[in-house]
Amino acid sequence: MKKLVFIGAGSMAEALISGIIENNLLSGDSLWVTNRQDKSRLQHLKQKYGVNTSYDFKELFDEADSVILAMKPKDAAIAVNEIKHFLSGRTLIISVLAGVPIATIENAAGKPLAVVRAMPNTSAAIGKSATAVSINSRVSESQRQLVEELFNTVGLTAFVEETQLDAVTGLSGSGPAYIYYLVEAMEKSAVEIGLDQQMAQELIVQTLIGAAEMVAKSSKTPKQLRLEVTSPGGTTEAGIGILEQHKVQQAFISCIKEAAAHSKKLGDNLSKEKLETRR
């Protein structure tokens, strides 16, 4: 790949740019970035990463191998419609837009294109994203390998059927927010039981890291690991009892299901809006 173009210059675009450069997948000279109108944001990326920036579509897309769609999901169809005349049959389109189906991008382009739909999460900013990827039938094996290399620069990459992406969005796409929500609760409880806030945060963070490593490296299931910590009549059992009393596990299950359903709803609405626009 000689030239990769980002349409959108937000936090996800920056995370990917940072990962690509830090892992030597491409240099800043091979990366081009644009957005709708925030020139100061483009200047920041140019100064920090040495990327190219431009509002000239002809300059942006000249000999571009791949294009990453990283604008707001609601602007996807409009953006693709604006750039479609600059895309050729060899251009790889990579979308990191939550809830936007591959078909919406294909329909907006109005021509056969290789399209990838990816669902990274915000942990991409520190190279720890869990990214699920789906591809259409026009994506070649070499393009597939390129996509895997690209998202591996910001974490773990897994290829799934597109029908599974809404579920992935609800699980790992939104997942970091659920963990932050849990940390908020743990911090509040720490203060209420008399612990220093900074010390409590350090303890909470290390506890989360340790638990995650145990799940990742142990051959035991999360349930087995939990039961090993939960001694009969002990403090952990007392705490877990309160969680069960408040149906916290079921609440998390419902949370993820609702997020996944909402992702599908957003995608359906975007597709509907595009169809209505074309009539």
- Domains plus CATH for the chain? 4-165 (3.40.50.720), 173-258 (1.10.3730.10)
Rounded to two decimals, the pTM is 0.87
Digit-coded pLDDT (tens) for 37-65? 899 999 999 999 999 999 999 999 999 99
SS3 state at 103: helix
Of 172, 130, 176, the closest CA to residue 155 belongs to: 130
Give the pLDDT confidence score for residue 279 in this predicted structure: 46
End-to-end CA, the chain: 37
Tokens 């240099």 locate to 27
Q: What phi and psi values does residue 177 have, to the nearest 5 degrees?
A: -65, -35
DSSP state of 231: -
Q: Are 215 and 225 in contact (CB under 8 A)?
A: yes
Q: Give the alpha-carbon dihedral of 54, 58, 64, 69, to 10 degrees.
A: 60
Measured CA to CA, the distance from residue 74 to residue 76 in angstroms comes to 6
From the CB of residue 122, how many other CB atoms can be counted at a distance below 10 Å?
17
DSSP state of 55: S
Digit-coded pLDDT (tens) for 130-167? 999 999 999 999 999 999 999 999 999 999 999 999 99
For residue 65, give the amino acid letter.
D
Of 201, 205, 202, the closest CA to residue 188 belongs to: 201
Lay out the sheet containing 66-69: strands in order across.
52-53, 31-34, 4-7, 66-69, 92-95, 114-119, 129-135, 155-159
